[in-house]
């Protein structure tokens, strides 16, 4: 197996040879064998071990074992303990997902802190097959059928060409010890049930199952790559990036063959799962939305807008005191200065009569029921109607701020000032507010 491993590195992962590597080692068969293979292949690496505190003394014994492994291999080791159960409860995650999030977050910290290049994990052919079957059972597309990627955002999995039996044979031949996690013997988790009840009969039916699956996944990956190239071409035609948000032209999308498949390809990487609801947005009214864990898709007239979900508990009210010159809010900067004469009108500027303002001014998100006297217009207008007439999208509306003097709107920021505070012939002092 060692020679096959070296051949795999030379052919497919040659960039690992000169790199500084972080090996994720739990103490189990897979990661221990990986560490020995990397040592014999003369790679430059250190070990990282996560103690998730989930198995009492056994977790601490795993940590001690990996420390001894590091000593025997003459490599450095980093260890970290996690309050996994508490984190899972606080974040409302399963224990497995919580452990994964904690693990990878720490790995990326180690990469940055110690100037390491890649994290190596010991996922192998069995893991990839199990992932494929799990995805298939839940419904998936091409990406879900291709199993575990070999390289993904600094995470490299050099053992994917090998199955668990290969690793067991290598460990036995080289008299390598490892720690056994008894939780892997139970059928409490779906993956374990796939591992114990589904895969063995398949292997019994086809002794070359892993080679067959790897060929199939390689073919699917080529098809996926071809589809991604086609999607990139469509993306450039159908989608506009405006201030970090994506605008998808609905009419052009509907005219594109296989509309649903194209929409899936455009959006599947953003975590959406309610695909029927997404397809219905193509014929929905303005304002309808579908959410993923990180993003939302909003119908707005002739487009679908893809944007990140707004942050929860964001502060929405600020005070601008008379002595203040600047105010930071929601990632923006509002600057105040006294000037001698009016400048060229721009949406991000407000020229106001200083003496008409009642400090401290209040800066807040707009609210239902707000009304003001738009500059250049007669009378009062509801702000909701004004924003509608200005064709402000539902997402943009959520980011509209107003500057208040007492209970009166002074400026709908980035849109229009209020007539009552405009600069007139008898104005003695002009103040300019700039949104930077």
- Reading phi first (left if > 0) and then psi (alpha if -120 to 50, else beta), residue 330 is in left
| Judgement on whether residues 263 and 344 belong to the same structural domain of the protein | no
pLDDT at residue 138, rounded to an integer:
83
237 within a domain of the structure (yes/no): no
Final residue in a domain of this structure, among 208, 234, 269: 208
The CATH number that applies at residue 247 is 3.30.465.60
Final residue in a domain of this structure, among 280, 308, 336: 308
Alpha-carbon span 111 to 75, nearest angstrom: 16
Ranges of beta strands (E only) in 295-429 are 295-300, 303-308, 317-320, 326-329, 332-339, 349-353, 361-365, 371-372, 381-382, 401-405, 408-412, 416-417
| Judgement on whether residues 18 and 116 belong to the same structural domain of the protein | yes
The CATH number that applies at residue 349 is 3.50.40.10
Q: Give the annotated binding-site residues for ATP.
A: 26-31
233 within a domain of the structure (yes/no): no
| Judgement on whether residues 133 and 9 belong to the same structural domain of the protein | yes
pLDDT at residue 313, rounded to an integer:
66
| Judgement on whether residues 342 and 359 belong to the same structural domain of the protein | yes
326 within a domain of the structure (yes/no): yes
| Judgement on whether residues 294 and 276 belong to the same structural domain of the protein | yes
Q: Give the annotated binding-site residues.
A: 26-31
Its domain, for residue 413, covers 317-435
Record the tokens describing residue 100, joined without a space. 């994964």
| Judgement on whether residues 192 and 275 belong to the same structural domain of the protein | no
- Reading phi first (left if > 0) and then psi (alpha if -120 to 50, else beta), residue 416 is in beta
pLDDT at residue 328, rounded to an integer:
94
225 within a domain of the structure (yes/no): no
| Judgement on whether residues 95 and 193 belong to the same structural domain of the protein | yes
| Judgement on whether residues 294 and 329 belong to the same structural domain of the protein | no
148 within a domain of the structure (yes/no): yes
pLDDT at residue 39, rounded to an integer:
96
CB 397 within 8 A of CB 389: no
| Judgement on whether residues 201 and 75 belong to the same structural domain of the protein | yes
236 within a domain of the structure (yes/no): no
The CATH number that applies at residue 123 is 3.40.50.620
44 within a domain of the structure (yes/no): yes
| Judgement on whether residues 32 and 128 belong to the same structural domain of the protein | yes
3-state class (DSSP) for residue 122: coil
| Judgement on whether residues 302 and 266 belong to the same structural domain of the protein | yes
Counting as low any pLDDT under 70, the low residues of the chain are 312-313
Record the tokens describing residue 404, joined without a space. 């208040």
234 within a domain of the structure (yes/no): no
Inter-axis angle of helices 84-91 and 95-114, to 10 degrees?
110
**Number of folded domains that form the chain:** 3
pLDDT at residue 365, rounded to an integer:
93
Matching residue, tokens 């200065």:
337
Final residue in a domain of this structure, among 285, 308, 331: 308
| Judgement on whether residues 270 and 342 belong to the same structural domain of the protein | no
């Amino acid at each position: 197996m060692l020679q096959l491993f070296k051949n795999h590195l030379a052919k497919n992962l040659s960039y690992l040879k000169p790199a500084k590597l972080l090996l994720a080692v739990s103490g189990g068969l897979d990661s221990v064998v990986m560490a020995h293979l990397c040592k014999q292949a003369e790679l430059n690496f250190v070990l990282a071990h996560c103690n998730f505190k989930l198995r009492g003394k056994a977790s601490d014994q795993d940590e001690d074992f990996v420390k001894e492994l590091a000593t025997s291999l003459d490599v450095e080791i980093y260890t970290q303990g996690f309050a996994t159960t508490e984190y899972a409860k606080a974040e409302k995650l399963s224990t497995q997902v919580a452990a994964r999030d904690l693990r990878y977050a720490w790995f990326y910290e180690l990469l940055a802190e110690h100037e390491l290049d890649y994290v190596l994990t010991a996922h192998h052919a069995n893991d990839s097959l199990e992932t494929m079957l799990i995805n298939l059972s839940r419904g998936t597309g091409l990406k879900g059928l291709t199993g575990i990627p070999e390289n993904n955002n600094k995470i490299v999995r050099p053992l994917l060409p090998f199955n668990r039996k290969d690793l067991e044979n290598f460990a036995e031949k080289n008299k390598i010890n490892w720690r056994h996690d008894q939780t892997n013997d139970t059928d409490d988790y779906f993956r374990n049930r796939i591992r114990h009840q589904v895969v063995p009969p398949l292997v019994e039916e086809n002794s070359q199952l892993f080679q067959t699956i790897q060929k199939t996944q390689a073919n699917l990956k080529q098809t996926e790559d071809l589809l991604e190239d086609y999607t990139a071409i469509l993306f450039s035609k159908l989608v506009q990036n405006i201030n970090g948000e994506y605008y998808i032209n609905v009419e052009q999308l509907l005219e594109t063959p296989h509309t649903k498949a194209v929409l899936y390809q455009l959006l599947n990487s953003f975590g959406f799962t309610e695909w029927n609801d997404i397809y219905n947005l193509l014929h929905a009214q303005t304002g309808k939305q579908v959410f993923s864990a990180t993003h939302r898709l909003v119908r707005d007239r002739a487009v679908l807008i893809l944007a990140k979900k707004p942050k929860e508990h964001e502060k929405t009210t600020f005070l601008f005191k008379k002595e203040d010159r600047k105010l930071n809010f929601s990632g923006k900067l509002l600057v105040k200065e006294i000037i001698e004469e009016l400048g060229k009108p721009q949406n991000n500027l407000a020229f106001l009569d200083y003496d008409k303002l009642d400090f401290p001014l209040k800066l807040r998100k707009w609210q239902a029921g707000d009304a003001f006297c738009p500059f250049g217009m007669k009378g009062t207008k509801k702000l909701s109607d004004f924003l509608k007439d200005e064709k402000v999208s539902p997402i943009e509306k959520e980011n509209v701020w107003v500057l208040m003097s007492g209970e009166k709107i002074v400026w709908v920021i980035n849109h229009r000032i209020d007539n009552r505070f405009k600069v007139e012939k008898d104005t003695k002092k002009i103040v300019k507010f700039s949104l930077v």
